Amino acid sequence: MSLILHQHPLSSFCWKVKIALYEMAVPFEPRLVELHDEASRAAHYARWPLGKMPVLEDTAAGKVAPETSIIIEYVQGRYAPGAGLIPADLEPALTVRLLDRVFDFYVMEPMSRIVAENFRGGEDPVGVAAADALLARSYDYLEAELAGRAWAAGEAFTLADCAAAPALFYADKVLPFRASHPTLGGYLDRLQARPSFARTLEEAQPVWHMFPGRKAA
């Protein structure tokens, strides 16, 4: 197997890539990165000096691809050109890439900031309030943007949905939105029923107890 995904099964960004790989039916080996372990951490930083997860290693091509959207585009271009996660036409591709950025930067990132506060055990009420406010604005935007669509960018499942699934799943744990944003809630239901995401969630079950959630008020 030439593709190795260096990842952690609880990481939202790792979920994004795993969903895409399952959608494309491209075989890969998931390999655990344990940043608290000195040897595992050193090996990971040797692969990608910025140290973020996931990182894809293509042993057949002798290449390493970091960053989730780049990884997905790399795999589609090299191993699954007909997958359609990134459309070939410019306008739909731009819509998909925009929504991918919205889910990563304006849902996943503020959600992660809130969860990190619990990991740190410190007090950062200003930072958490800013993250809550950004999530709330993102929910409002997405509620209107996704109205009438089966998937994020339309009728086809794309890169944007790969980003949306973990972002919304975790965001709903830290700032619930189903009651106030029914379109977004229904969309998350469809994402969770999608086989690629259902499989990813099932694989995370053994470590789900490690998710710290939101720091208690």
36-45, 171-180, 186-195: segment of lowest average pLDDT: 36-45
Q: Say whether pLDDT at 216 is over 90.
A: no
How would residue 123 be classed by pLDDT, with cut points 50, 70 and 90? low
> Average pLDDT of 51-77?
97
Give the number of other Cβ atoms within 10 Å of residue 162's Cβ.
32
Kindly state the tokens that stand for 51: 């140290």
Q: Give the three-class secondary structure for 145.
A: helix
In the prediction, which pLDDT does 115 show? Answer: 87
Q: Say whether pLDDT at 120 is over 80.
A: no
How would residue 73 be classed by pLDDT, with cut points 50, 70 and 90? very high
212 DSSP 8-state letter: -
Q: Is-contact 24 76, C-beta < 8 A?
A: yes
- Reported as a single tens digit per residue, the pLDDT across 74-86 is 999 999 999 999 9
Q: CA–CA separation, 148 vs 126, rounded Å?
A: 36
Residue with tokens 């055990």: 121
For the whole model, what pTM was predicted? 0.95
Residue with tokens 């710290």: 212
Instruction: Calculate Rg over the CA atoms of the chain.
Output: 17
Q: CA–CA separation, 174 vs 171, rounded Å?
A: 5
Position 153: which residue type?
A: A
Q: Is-contact 148 124, C-beta < 8 A?
A: no
Q: Give the three-class secondary structure for 144.
A: helix
Write the CB contacts of 8 (distance below 8 Å, at least 6 apart in sequence): 14, 32, 33, 34, 53
In the chain, the domains with their CATH numbers are 3-79 (3.40.30.10), 90-210 (1.20.1050.10)
Q: Is-contact 28 1, C-beta < 8 A?
A: yes
The secondary structure element, H or E, covering residue 5 is: strand 3-7
Q: CA–CA separation, 96 vs 143, rounded Å?
A: 16
Please report how many Cα atoms fall inside a 13 Å half-sphere around the Cα of residue 89, on the Cβ side: 3
